[in-house]
Protein backbone atom coordinates (compact mmCIF):
# COMPACT_ATOMS: atom_id res chain seq x y z
CA UNK A 1 0.00 0.00 0.00
CA UNK A 2 1.28 3.47 -0.91
CA UNK A 3 1.70 5.63 2.21
CA UNK A 4 -0.90 8.42 2.45
CA UNK A 5 0.08 12.03 1.87
CA UNK A 6 -0.14 12.95 5.55
CA UNK A 7 1.28 9.73 6.97
CA UNK A 8 4.15 11.55 8.70
CA UNK A 9 2.28 14.71 9.66
CA UNK A 10 3.73 16.25 12.79
CA UNK A 11 6.97 14.26 12.63
CA UNK A 12 10.32 16.07 12.72
CA UNK A 13 12.83 14.09 10.66
CA UNK A 14 16.52 14.85 10.24
CA UNK A 15 18.26 13.50 7.13
CA UNK A 16 22.03 13.21 7.60
CA UNK A 17 23.13 12.15 4.11
CA UNK A 18 26.00 14.12 2.54
CA UNK A 19 25.11 17.34 0.75
CA UNK A 20 23.88 16.61 -2.75
CA UNK A 21 22.57 13.16 -1.80
CA UNK A 22 19.59 14.04 0.39
CA UNK A 23 17.18 15.85 -1.93
CA UNK A 24 15.12 12.85 -3.08
CA UNK A 25 14.65 11.47 0.44
CA UNK A 26 13.81 14.90 1.87
CA UNK A 27 11.22 15.39 -0.87
CA UNK A 28 9.68 11.96 -0.25
CA UNK A 29 9.35 12.63 3.48
CA UNK A 30 7.97 16.14 2.99
CA UNK A 31 5.31 14.78 0.63
CA UNK A 32 4.14 12.56 3.52
CA UNK A 33 3.79 15.56 5.79
CA UNK A 34 7.05 15.39 7.75
CA UNK A 35 8.93 18.48 8.88
CA UNK A 36 12.29 17.70 7.29
CA UNK A 37 15.72 19.10 8.03
CA UNK A 38 18.73 18.21 5.86
CA UNK A 39 21.70 18.10 8.23
CA UNK A 40 24.73 16.56 6.49
CA UNK A 41 26.75 14.57 9.01
CA UNK A 42 29.47 13.52 6.56
CA UNK A 43 31.23 15.55 3.91
CA UNK A 44 32.69 13.78 0.87
CA UNK A 45 36.00 15.35 -0.16
CA UNK A 46 38.58 14.55 -2.85
CA UNK A 47 41.64 12.60 -1.77
CA UNK A 48 44.79 14.62 -1.14
CA UNK A 49 46.77 12.72 -3.77
CA UNK A 50 44.50 12.36 -6.76
CA UNK A 51 47.42 11.45 -9.01
CA UNK A 52 48.03 8.23 -7.07
CA UNK A 53 44.40 7.22 -7.46
CA UNK A 54 44.50 8.04 -11.16
CA UNK A 55 47.61 5.92 -11.61
CA UNK A 56 45.96 2.97 -9.89
CA UNK A 57 42.80 3.35 -11.98
CA UNK A 58 44.90 3.39 -15.16
CA UNK A 59 46.57 0.12 -14.08
CA UNK A 60 43.31 -1.85 -14.05
CA UNK A 61 43.33 -4.61 -16.66
CA UNK A 62 40.23 -6.14 -18.28
CA UNK A 63 40.87 -9.50 -16.60
CA UNK A 64 40.88 -7.92 -13.13
CA UNK A 65 37.99 -7.58 -10.72
CA UNK A 66 36.97 -4.10 -9.56
CA UNK A 67 34.75 -3.78 -6.50
CA UNK A 68 32.99 -0.49 -5.76
CA UNK A 69 31.99 -0.19 -2.12
CA UNK A 70 29.56 2.74 -2.40
CA UNK A 71 27.88 5.25 -4.67
CA UNK A 72 30.53 7.76 -3.57
CA UNK A 73 33.25 5.37 -4.76
CA UNK A 74 31.65 5.22 -8.20
CA UNK A 75 31.17 8.96 -8.56
CA UNK A 76 34.61 9.92 -7.29
CA UNK A 77 36.34 7.24 -9.37
CA UNK A 78 34.54 8.49 -12.46
CA UNK A 79 35.72 12.04 -11.71
CA UNK A 80 39.32 10.81 -11.48
CA UNK A 81 39.19 8.31 -14.35
CA UNK A 82 42.27 9.06 -16.49
CA UNK A 83 41.28 7.24 -19.70
CA UNK A 84 38.66 8.00 -22.38
CA UNK A 85 36.59 4.95 -21.43
CA UNK A 86 36.40 2.02 -19.02
CA UNK A 87 38.35 -1.09 -20.14
CA UNK A 88 36.20 -3.30 -22.34
CA UNK A 89 34.85 -6.37 -20.58
CA UNK A 90 35.85 -5.11 -17.13
CA UNK A 91 34.49 -7.34 -14.38
CA UNK A 92 32.82 -5.23 -11.73
CA UNK A 93 31.02 -5.84 -8.48
CA UNK A 94 28.91 -3.51 -6.35
CA UNK A 95 28.36 -3.83 -2.63
CA UNK A 96 24.65 -3.01 -2.99
CA UNK A 97 21.95 -2.12 -5.46
CA UNK A 98 22.41 1.63 -4.97
CA UNK A 99 26.05 1.30 -5.95
CA UNK A 100 25.06 -0.87 -8.92
CA UNK A 101 22.60 1.80 -10.05
CA UNK A 102 25.37 4.42 -9.89
CA UNK A 103 27.58 2.22 -12.08
CA UNK A 104 24.77 1.71 -14.58
CA UNK A 105 24.15 5.46 -14.70
CA UNK A 106 27.73 6.05 -15.87
CA UNK A 107 27.51 3.30 -18.50
CA UNK A 108 29.39 0.54 -16.70
CA UNK A 109 27.81 -2.89 -16.48
CA UNK A 110 27.75 -4.74 -13.17
CA UNK A 111 28.89 -8.36 -13.13
CA UNK A 112 27.89 -9.13 -9.54
CA UNK A 113 25.74 -7.45 -6.90
CA UNK A 114 24.10 -9.13 -3.89
CA UNK A 115 20.40 -9.91 -4.26
CA UNK A 116 20.00 -9.19 -0.56
CA UNK A 117 22.20 -7.12 1.70
CA UNK A 118 24.40 -4.12 0.98
CA UNK A 119 27.67 -4.65 2.84
CA UNK A 120 30.98 -6.51 2.68
CA UNK A 121 29.44 -9.63 4.19
CA UNK A 122 26.80 -9.82 1.46
CA UNK A 123 29.39 -9.38 -1.28
CA UNK A 124 31.73 -12.01 0.18
CA UNK A 125 28.87 -14.52 0.11
CA UNK A 126 28.62 -14.32 -3.70
CA UNK A 127 29.94 -17.36 -5.61
CA UNK A 128 32.31 -15.17 -7.66
CA UNK A 129 34.38 -14.45 -4.55
CA UNK A 130 34.34 -17.87 -2.92
CA UNK A 131 37.69 -18.94 -4.45
CA UNK A 132 39.44 -15.93 -6.03
CA UNK A 133 42.86 -17.60 -5.93
CA UNK A 134 45.43 -15.69 -8.00
CA UNK A 135 42.95 -13.09 -9.23
CA UNK A 136 43.72 -9.40 -8.89
CA UNK A 137 40.91 -7.56 -7.13
CA UNK A 138 40.83 -3.77 -6.95
CA UNK A 139 38.68 -2.31 -4.16
CA UNK A 140 37.56 1.25 -4.88
CA UNK A 141 36.70 2.97 -1.62
CA UNK A 142 37.16 5.97 0.64
CA UNK A 143 40.23 6.53 2.78
CA UNK A 144 40.29 4.18 5.74
CA UNK A 145 37.32 2.01 4.80
CA UNK A 146 36.40 -1.25 6.53
CA UNK A 147 39.15 -3.87 6.46
CA UNK A 148 36.89 -6.95 6.28
CA UNK A 149 36.45 -7.12 2.51
CA UNK A 150 40.14 -6.84 1.58
CA UNK A 151 41.34 -9.09 4.40
CA UNK A 152 38.88 -11.85 3.57
CA UNK A 153 39.61 -11.81 -0.16
CA UNK A 154 43.35 -11.91 0.55
CA UNK A 155 42.85 -14.87 2.88
CA UNK A 156 40.97 -16.60 0.05
CA UNK A 157 43.94 -16.15 -2.27
CA UNK A 158 43.17 -12.95 -4.17
CA UNK A 159 45.76 -10.29 -4.92
CA UNK A 160 44.05 -7.29 -3.36
CA UNK A 161 44.76 -3.67 -4.30
CA UNK A 162 43.03 -0.60 -2.89
CA UNK A 163 42.15 2.57 -4.75
CA UNK A 164 41.09 5.32 -2.38
CA UNK A 165 39.20 7.96 -4.36
CA UNK A 166 37.62 10.13 -1.65
CA UNK A 167 37.75 10.87 2.04
CA UNK A 168 35.02 11.42 4.61
CA UNK A 169 35.13 14.45 6.89
CA UNK A 170 32.98 16.08 9.53
CA UNK A 171 31.20 19.07 7.98
CA UNK A 172 32.01 22.49 9.37
CA UNK A 173 28.62 23.83 10.39
CA UNK A 174 26.83 25.40 13.33
CA UNK A 175 23.80 23.42 14.47
CA UNK A 176 20.62 25.39 15.26
CA UNK A 177 20.17 25.72 19.04
CA UNK A 178 16.88 23.81 19.10
CA UNK A 179 17.66 21.19 16.46
CA UNK A 180 17.30 18.28 18.92
CA UNK A 181 14.76 19.89 21.29
CA UNK A 182 11.47 18.35 22.45
CA UNK A 183 9.72 16.58 20.97
CA UNK A 184 12.87 14.65 20.02
CA UNK A 185 13.33 14.30 16.26
CA UNK A 186 13.76 11.08 14.38
CA UNK A 187 17.22 10.98 12.76
CA UNK A 188 18.10 8.90 9.70
CA UNK A 189 21.66 7.56 9.93
CA UNK A 190 23.63 5.72 7.21
CA UNK A 191 26.92 5.02 9.00
CA UNK A 192 28.59 4.94 12.43
CA UNK A 193 30.70 7.95 11.41
CA UNK A 194 27.57 10.05 11.04
CA UNK A 195 26.78 9.45 14.71
CA UNK A 196 30.30 10.39 15.78
CA UNK A 197 30.16 13.57 13.72
CA UNK A 198 26.76 14.67 15.03
CA UNK A 199 28.06 14.39 18.58
CA UNK A 200 31.18 16.34 17.63
CA UNK A 201 29.03 19.13 16.17
CA UNK A 202 27.01 19.63 19.37
CA UNK A 203 27.88 23.02 20.90
CA UNK A 204 26.34 22.57 24.33
CA UNK A 205 25.38 19.96 26.89
CA UNK A 206 21.75 20.62 26.05
CA UNK A 207 22.32 19.84 22.38
CA UNK A 208 24.23 16.70 23.25
CA UNK A 209 21.50 15.54 25.64
CA UNK A 210 18.82 16.26 23.04
CA UNK A 211 20.73 14.28 20.42
CA UNK A 212 21.23 11.29 22.71
CA UNK A 213 17.49 11.26 23.48
CA UNK A 214 16.51 11.36 19.82
CA UNK A 215 15.17 8.33 17.99
CA UNK A 216 17.37 6.83 15.28
CA UNK A 217 16.78 4.82 12.14
CA UNK A 218 19.98 3.07 11.09
CA UNK A 219 20.82 0.76 8.20
CA UNK A 220 22.80 -1.98 9.93
CA UNK A 221 23.57 -3.54 13.28
CA UNK A 222 27.09 -2.07 13.32
CA UNK A 223 25.60 1.42 13.47
CA UNK A 224 23.05 0.34 16.09
CA UNK A 225 25.87 -0.98 18.26
CA UNK A 226 27.78 2.30 17.90
CA UNK A 227 24.65 4.19 19.00
CA UNK A 228 24.38 2.07 22.14
CA UNK A 229 28.06 2.58 22.96
CA UNK A 230 27.74 6.34 22.50
CA UNK A 231 24.88 6.50 24.98
CA UNK A 232 21.77 6.95 22.83
CA UNK A 233 18.84 6.22 25.11
CA UNK A 234 16.33 4.78 22.63
CA UNK A 235 16.76 1.48 20.79
CA UNK A 236 17.40 2.34 17.12
CA UNK A 237 15.00 1.16 14.46
CA UNK A 238 16.65 -0.86 11.70
CA UNK A 239 15.92 0.03 8.08
CA UNK A 240 16.08 -2.69 5.47
CA UNK A 241 18.59 -0.78 3.37
CA UNK A 242 20.11 2.65 2.68
CA UNK A 243 17.62 3.59 -0.05
CA UNK A 244 14.71 6.02 0.24
CA UNK A 245 12.03 3.32 0.30
CA UNK A 246 13.71 1.42 3.15
CA UNK A 247 14.01 4.54 5.30
CA UNK A 248 10.38 5.44 4.59
CA UNK A 249 9.17 1.95 5.50
CA UNK A 250 11.11 2.06 8.78
CA UNK A 251 9.65 5.46 9.57
CA UNK A 252 6.10 4.35 8.93
CA UNK A 253 6.41 1.31 11.16
CA UNK A 254 6.18 3.59 14.18
CA UNK A 255 3.21 5.64 12.97
CA UNK A 256 -0.08 4.49 14.59
CA UNK A 257 -2.24 5.46 11.61
CA UNK A 258 -0.09 3.32 9.29
CA UNK A 259 -0.31 0.05 11.21
Boundary (domain end) residue, out of 108, 140, 169: 169
Same domain, 146 and 163: yes
Give the chain's domain count: 2
- Residue 62 shares a structural domain with residue 149: yes
Which pTM does this prediction carry?
0.87
Mean pLDDT, the chain, whole residue set: 90
Q: How far is CA 183 from CA 17, 205, 208, in A?
A: 22, 17, 15
Query: Are 180 and 165 members of one domain?
Result: no
- Give φ, ψ of 14 to 5 degrees: -105, 125
For residue 30, what is the domain's CATH number? 3.40.50.10090
Asked whether residue 136 carries a pLDDT value surpassing 90, the answer given is yes
Do 50 and 126 sit in the same domain of this protein?
yes
Are 164 and 241 in a shared domain? Answer: no
Q: pLDDT tens, 194-237?
A: 999 999 999 999 999 999 999 999 999 999 999 999 999 999 99
Residue 1 has pLDDT above 70, yes or no: no
What is the DSSP pairing of strand 12-15 with strand 35-38?
A: parallel
Residue 1 lies in a domain: no
Q: pLDDT-derived band of residue 255, with 50, 70 and 90 as boundaries? A: low
Question: Residue 110 falls within a domain, yes or no?
Answer: yes
Among 151, 169, 187, the domain-final residue is 169
Strand-strand pairing, 136-142 and 159-169: parallel
- Contact call for residues 149 and 120 (beta carbons, < 8 A): yes
Last residue of a domain, one of 145, 169, 193: 169
Per the domain annotation, does 97 fall within a domain?
yes
* Residue 52, domain extent: 45-169
Same domain, 159 and 184: no
Percent of the chain whose predicted confidence (pLDDT) is above 90? 72
In terms of domains, do 158 and 244 share one?
Answer: no
Amino acid sequence: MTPSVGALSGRRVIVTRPAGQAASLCSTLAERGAEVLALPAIEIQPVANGEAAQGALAAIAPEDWVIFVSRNAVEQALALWPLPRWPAGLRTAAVGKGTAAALAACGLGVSWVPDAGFDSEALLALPAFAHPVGQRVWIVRGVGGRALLGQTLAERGARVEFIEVYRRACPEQCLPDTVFSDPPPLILISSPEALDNLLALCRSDAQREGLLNSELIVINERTAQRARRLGFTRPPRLAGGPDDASFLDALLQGEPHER
